[in-house]
Every structure is written in C-alpha cells, then in structure tokens.
Structure 1
Amino acid sequence: MIPGRKHARLMFHGYTFKRYQVLVNGHVRWRCSKWHMGCRVSVKTNTEDPRAGILLIENIHNHERPTLVRNNEVYFLATKKKYPLLLFDKYTFKRQSILTSGGVIWYCSNRHYGCKAQVKSIQDSYVFGKIEHNHDPPRCTQLSNGTWIRTRKMKKYKPRKL
C-alpha cells in the first residue's frame, strides 16, 4: 500500500491502482492509476486490505511499470535559492509543486533544455515517475560530512600572451 490523496493506493506487480469502488459484499474494485490515459486494468480484492486476497484481474496494461524506489537512494542538495534540489539516480530535480496529499512533484533541472523527466515523492519515502532524460547526469560529489554538492566542469587555464 502506498499513501494517496484520499485513500491508499494498491501496488500490485509493480503497477499502482487507485481505489474505485467498495461493493455491497465488501469487495473493493481498484483501477489502474493510468485509467485516464486509457489503461483499462482493474483489480478486485476481498477487502480494502489487499493482503486479504486478490480475487480478479481484468485486462492487460498498455504502459510500462512506474519506477519506484525507497528513500535510501534519494538525497537533497542545498542550494543558494529557496528550495533544495532532489538528487535521484545521478540526476537533479527542481521542486515544481506540493500536492494536497503531501506529495511533491519534481521536474528535471534541465527542463529548460527540453528534458521531460519528472518524479513524484510521497512523504519522503517513495519516488516514482517518468525518468527518461535526454542528457547526461550532472556532476555531483558527496562530501565527508555526508552532504552532496553539484560540481561544475573546470575550464582549462590558458596563460595570457604578453
């Protein structure tokens, strides 16, 4: 189970599902989180707790599984600006918006160069999203005190001619 805006989400075989309907007999129907994008997969469980058993799975997904990782691979980089950068999988992300559920949407730091990668973090525990970059990762270094900094490529020194 993953925290959601109103209700918890179901994670099954790497795909996420939103609670759709509680039936009279207590069974719960879940829809794929990409239902609005045309994925018509649904799951029926005995109760709201999926550990009680999954009864039925309908259809096949028409999209890839979302990438979901635990917080131990996510770091925050201090910046001179108001908000930190999120460092995830060697790439940096800028905070875009805070959701009412407490989650945060992050866009790739190179979005102004056309990179469409974005991730969503939920309660600083999970990160998932569209993580396909059109560029190489920036250079980041971890200091001895555990903090991360973004380093820039040094320009070669050219001595002046007199």
Structure 2
Amino acid sequence: MVLLTFYYYYIIYNSLGLEFFLSRIGNEMLKYQGYKYHLRHQTEMKRVWRCSKNYATQCKATLTTVYNELMKVTRIPYDVVLSQRGKRLIMVDGYTFSQTKSTYWTCSSKFANCKAKLKLNNKEEIIEINNVHSHEPRKYVKSSDDSFEFIELIGGKILLMAEGFTFAKASQRHWYCSKKSKGCKARVHFNAENTVIQYDNNHNHQKPVYKKLLNGHYMKCMS
C-alpha cells in the first residue's frame, strides 16, 4: 500500500494569478506574471518569496504573501544617471546599463564578454535582470557633499553638478563653471575612464538654485 500525501498549495491559483506549486525536489515555489519565486522564509501567516534566479543572476525581486494572498511586490531598486555625453543609463548596484530596445538594457561597459542585461515593464520597473558581470563596477568619485551628477535642463542641455554648483561642458573631458563668463575659474577634469582627476571648486559666486521636475529635468530658479 502506497500512501500519497498531497499539499493544498500544489497547484492552486488565487484571484491575482498567483500559482503555488512544488519543485521537482519538493520545495515550495510561486509563479507570478510569468516569473518563479522560491520560498525564502515564513511565519505563521506571512511568507517571503525571492526570485528563483537570485543565485544565477543576483536578481533581488521579492514577493510577500499573507494566507496565499499577495501583499507586497518588491521590485529591484535602481537609479537613472546621465553619462558625460548625456545618455541615460540605469544603475544597479554600481553597474550601469544602456538601452538597446524599448524595454531591454545591456551592460554599458566596453567588455565584449559581459552578458549582464535587464528588462523593464511598461511602468519602468525591472522585471528581469542578469546582474552578473565579467568586470568590476566603474568607480564614481564623490565630493564632500554628494556624487558628481549630470543633470538635464528643460531645453535638453546637460550640466555637471558638484556640491550644488554647475559646470558646462567645454570638451569631452573638461567642464568649466557655468559662470565662467563672469570670471569664475572653477573646473572639473575627467580622464578617459570618466574618473575625476582634477577638481577645482573654488567659486566667486553663490550656488545656483535648481528645482527638479517630475519628469526628471531641472529648472533654474531666479535668485
């Protein structure tokens, strides 16, 4: 006589399209919007699930369920930065990705064998990522206040901001204070690897005031 034990969550669906099932070796798993999750830990009521590709691709997407109902979806956090040329990049854990198609982004490094990539949904959330790179992340130099940041004005002009002051591009590697015409000699110099190698932040004027708009652009406020 063979006794078969069936689990109530294998396979069941709920109103939100969650699919609970067992893996081939009997581990609890969850499928949501086409992606699979492993059970990470649980309490009497709550369960936390992590993307099944976490070990292979370092994907950090998680779900939280309470009594098999979806309570929280934790998407992968990222930042949007601008390259020196004004190109928008997605940064995840220090690595940057450039857009290749409408929803697909690949590692922006020059390493030919790097296969890291990610995918966004129509809400610009990362829904799929391979964040395993064949190289170290590019180093970003920080000032005493915050990171050097490239900002985009309403008209599309790109400025470099450091410690609240802005710099305009003079050449591929040289940026001069936006008030150079007023006699300010502050400047920033990058090397070929986009690392700051010279930083003179001695200005002869007050910091300009900018307001960041909802679309990510900056608008200069009248002083």
TM-score normalised per structure 2: 0.31
Richer in helix (by share): 1
The structure with the larger Rg is: 2
Normalization by structure 1: what TM-score?
0.41
